[in-house]
């Protein structure tokens, strides 16, 4: 049994190596085929050391960064071949493929990068921290009350851009000797200013419901998924009315651990297709696309599990229901929004129409929502978060000018002879 396991692991590693090498070739071929432009100096860099599997962390920042680039040129420093391949395919921002530290050093030496942004906590971020005379800033890839949002790794960055008061409170509860006032900058959720897109249906008088469940989870504490416990019942109830349009956006990993969960997911997809066949004007949507935004803006009510989707929807400042996990072992944070949200119990799933009517029409529910939106994101008026994001970068640029003037402009930033060099890709 051990030999079989070892062989499988060896084959998996070999496949990964071949895939990586193929991606390296594709990336270099793509970059070499692109038109050569005069040397261009970037002021802002986004450091991304992950592969294609975590591209969702970059994609949600494309539009805010494109807007930022109109004033300060932005480049993505991509360290992994599959990540660079995906970035180039998206073609949303300029990409520098820098797989080794030597590549990184060569590129930085030719640039005027003053602010480096980080969307996650990849261990290879440490290799970029070597370079001084620039600000290293954590911008994260979402807002939630998960443990990830209070990691001690925040202390590694010069600054962190956070959403609002809720983030400040989380950090204050957990991090010791961390100067929150000095080292955090509140910007809200700039992505929410881009919650738009082409609707895949023609709007009418139907009430639009977004149901966006997470996957089933791989351990009891993470059993947040609702497809089996809530999903089939609530979707069936909504389809039966003829007055609701369902946008169904399940997590792409639905069913990877529990076959029953995957089977229920397929049944919901089939039910939507059958309803559309019976009434084409219903235009129910099974959404598995890479873009998230239009769904959050279009839905009158969202039904989500405990996941980042809670806070993505909260930033839209529109009604939502959160499915209450059936497994008593599922961990629920009671400090933030989940302490006072609109829960949907499994027993109430068949009564989803009444539940959605309640959150749409209950003044108390609407008032509570407004309070929590402000607590997490501050001002959510169109463009407000984008203005704060740009203002934060302006502040960092101004500080860079001040500190650079105080420091010696003649000092070289040569790496020491013992600098860690990763393997050539």
* Per-residue model confidence as pLDDT tens digits over 203-262: 999 999 999 999 999 999 999 999 999 999 999 999 999 999 999 999 988 999 999 999
pLDDT at residue 348, rounded to an integer = 98
- Helix 352-361, helix 363-377: angle, nearest 10: 70
Q: How confident is the model at residue 31 (pLDDT cuts 50, 70, 90)?
A: confident
Token pair listed for 48: 């991304």
Per the model's pLDDT, the better-predicted residue between 49 and 1 turns out to be 49
What burial class does residue 61 get, using C-beta atoms within 10 Å of its C-beta: 0-12 exposed, 13-18 middle, 19+ buried? buried
**CB-CB contact of 292 with 57 (8 Å):** no
Q: Judge whether residue 5 has pLDDT over 70.
A: no
**pTM, 2 dp:** 0.86
Asked whether residue 4 carries a pLDDT value surpassing 90, the answer given is: no
Beta-sheet strand order (sheet of 159-162) = 95-97, 74-78, 44-48, 115-118, 135-138, 159-162, 184-186
For residues 182 and 56, the model is more confident at 182
38-188+386-406 classified as CATH 3.40.50.11820: yes
Quick: pLDDT tens for 302-358. 999 999 899 999 999 999 999 999 999 999 988 899 999 999 999 999 999 999 999
CATH 3.40.50.11820 residue ranges of the chain are: 38-188+386-406
Q: Judge contact between 39 and 110, C-beta under 8 A.
A: yes
pLDDT in the model for residue 412: 53
Q: Would you tell me the crossing angle of helices 259-278 and 232-241 to the nearest 10 degrees?
A: 10
Q: What is the pLDDT of residue 407?
A: 84
> Could you tell me the strand order of the sheet in which 285-286 lies?
285-286, 244-248, 207-212, 301-304, 320-323, 343-344
Of 172-181, 182-191, 282-291, 413-422, minimum mean pLDDT range:
413-422
- Which regions of the chain carry the CATH code 3.40.50.2000? 207-377
245, two tokens: 């349009």
- Please give the share of the chain, as a percent, with pLDDT higher than 70: 89
pLDDT band at 408 (very low <50, low <70, confident <90, very high): low
Position 83 pLDDT exceeds 90: yes
Could you give the percent of the chain with pLDDT greater than 90?
79
pLDDT in tens, 351-393: 999 999 999 999 999 999 999 999 999 999 999 999 999 999 9
Q: Has residue 39 got a pLDDT over 80?
A: no
Distance (Å) of CA 271 to CA 203, 217, 399: 21, 24, 57
pLDDT, position 418: 47
Average pLDDT in the 99-118 region? 95
CATH class of the domain comprising 207-377: alpha beta
d(CA 264, CA 273): 14
Average pLDDT, the chain: 91
417 band by pLDDT with thresholds 50, 70 and 90: very low
pLDDT tier, 34 (very low <50, low <70, confident <90, very high otherwise): confident
């Amino acid at each position: 049994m051990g030999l079989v396991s070892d062989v499988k692991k060896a084959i998996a590693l070999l496949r990964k190596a071949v895939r990586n090498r193929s991606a390296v070739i594709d990336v270099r071929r793509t970059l070499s085929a692109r038109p050569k432009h005069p040397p261009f100096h970037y002021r802002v860099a986004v450091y991304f050391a992950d592969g294609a599997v975590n591209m969702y962390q970059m994609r949600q920042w494309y539009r805010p960064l494109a807007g930022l680039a109109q004033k300060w040129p932005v480049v993505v420093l991509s360290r992994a071949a599959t990540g660079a391949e995906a970035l180039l395919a998206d073609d949303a921002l300029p990409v520098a493929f820098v797989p080794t530290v030597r590549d990184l050093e060569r590129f930085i030496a030719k640039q005027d990068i003053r602010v480096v942004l980080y969307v996650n906590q990849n261990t290879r971020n440490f290799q970029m921290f070597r370079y001084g005379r620039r600000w290293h800033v954590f911008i994260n890839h979402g807002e939630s009350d998960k443990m990830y949002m209070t990691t001690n790794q925040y202390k590694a960055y010069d600054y962190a851009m956070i959403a609002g008061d809720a983030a400040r409170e989380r950090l204050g509860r957990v991090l010791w000797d961390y100067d929150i006032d000095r080292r955090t900058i509140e910007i809200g959720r700039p992505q929410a200013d881009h919650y738009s897109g082409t609707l895949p249906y023609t709007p009418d008088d139907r009430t639009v419901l977004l149901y966006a469940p997470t996957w089933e989870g791989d351990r009891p504490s993470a059993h947040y998924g609702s497809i089996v416990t809530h999903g089939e019942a609530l979707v069936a109830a909504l389809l039966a009315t003829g007055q609701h349009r369902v946008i169904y956006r399940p997590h792409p990993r639905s069913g990877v651990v529990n076959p029953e969960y995957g089977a229920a997911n397929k049944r919901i997809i089939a039910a939507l297709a059958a309803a559309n066949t019976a009434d084409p004007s219903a235009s129910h949507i099974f959404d598995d696309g890479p873009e998230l935004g239009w769904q959050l803006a279009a839905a009158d009510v969202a039904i989500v599990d405990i996941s980042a989707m809670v806070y993505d929807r909260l930033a839209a400042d529109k009604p939502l229901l959160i499915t209450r996990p059936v497994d008593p072992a599922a961990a629920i944070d009671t400090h933030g929004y989940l302490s006072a949200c609109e829960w949907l119990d499994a027993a109430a799933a068949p009564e989803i129409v009444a539940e959605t009517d309640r959150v749409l029409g209950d003044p108390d529910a609407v008032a509570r929502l407004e309070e929590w939106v402000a607590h997490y994101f501050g001002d959510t008026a169109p463009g407000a978060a984008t203005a704060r994001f740009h203002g934060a970068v302006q502040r960092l640029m101004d500080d860079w000018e001040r500190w650079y003037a105080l420091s010696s402009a003649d000092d070289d930033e040569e790496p020491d002879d013992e600098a860690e060099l990763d393997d050539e890709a």
